[in-house]
Structure 1
Amino acid sequence: MAFTKKIVNTDLAPAAVGTYSQGVEHNGVFYFSGQIGIDPKTSVLLEGFEAQLNQIMKNIDGLLESQGIDRTHIIKTSIFVTDLGKFNLVNEAYIKYFQEPYPARSCVEVPNLPKGALVEIEVIAAR
């Protein structure tokens, strides 16, 4: 059997800023690239941690919507922050954004993110 994958391409989330796809679907599992707080309409990175975090959640919703799925299909998130002291804000956003049972999650502090972003989130979802 041949290996197949479908590339996700939507204007409901920011275009890729490098040599990668917005996401890839294989056998009903979606691997979405990390999202930073860029407004897809203006291609501008919002200022401030909370503004970026809220925009990221909107971008993730756009990716999901483009594939006919929603937040309940997310099974894993990976979160990258430049200041782990903001972890409480991540938890607050999680409570607003998700319902129990929550997806699996990891969160790590990194020294830098693309375009000077303060937070980046990638998700894996399944149909």
Structure 2
Amino acid sequence: MEEASRPKEKTMEEAKGFVRRVLLFKFKAETAPDHIEQLIKDHSNLVNLVESLKSWHMGKDVSVKYSNEGFTHVIELTFESTEGIAAYMGHPAHLEMHERIWPHLEKIVVIDYKPTPLCN
């Protein structure tokens, strides 16, 4: 218990003001699994094309209680700032990817957040 009451040190991401974007994808039932894999692979290449995008991580849902409401893929992007997200949103590579993936999505959830320490 003593450990929890000590002040937390800021992580490097907190200190630098990094911003993360989490995307939850629910693909349309008619989208073939191999096509979904190719879209995700192509999306991952944005980290090589958009300067403000610092990292890209992806995972597939592994829920055992099926509380995912049909969302099957999660992508987490890291930017140095909210301005970096704005630059990403207007970048031609992102706009092209958006046009390719959007017709295959039934639903998407987007959340932007700044990593922060747990407040006591």
Indicate whether the TM-score tops 0.5. Answer: no
Q: TM-score range by the shorter chain?
A: 0.3 to 0.5
Larger radius of gyration between Structure 1 and Structure 2: 2
User: How high is the TM-score relative to the length of structure 1?
Assistant: 0.31
**Higher-helix-fraction structure:** 2
User: How high is the TM-score relative to the length of structure 2?
Assistant: 0.32
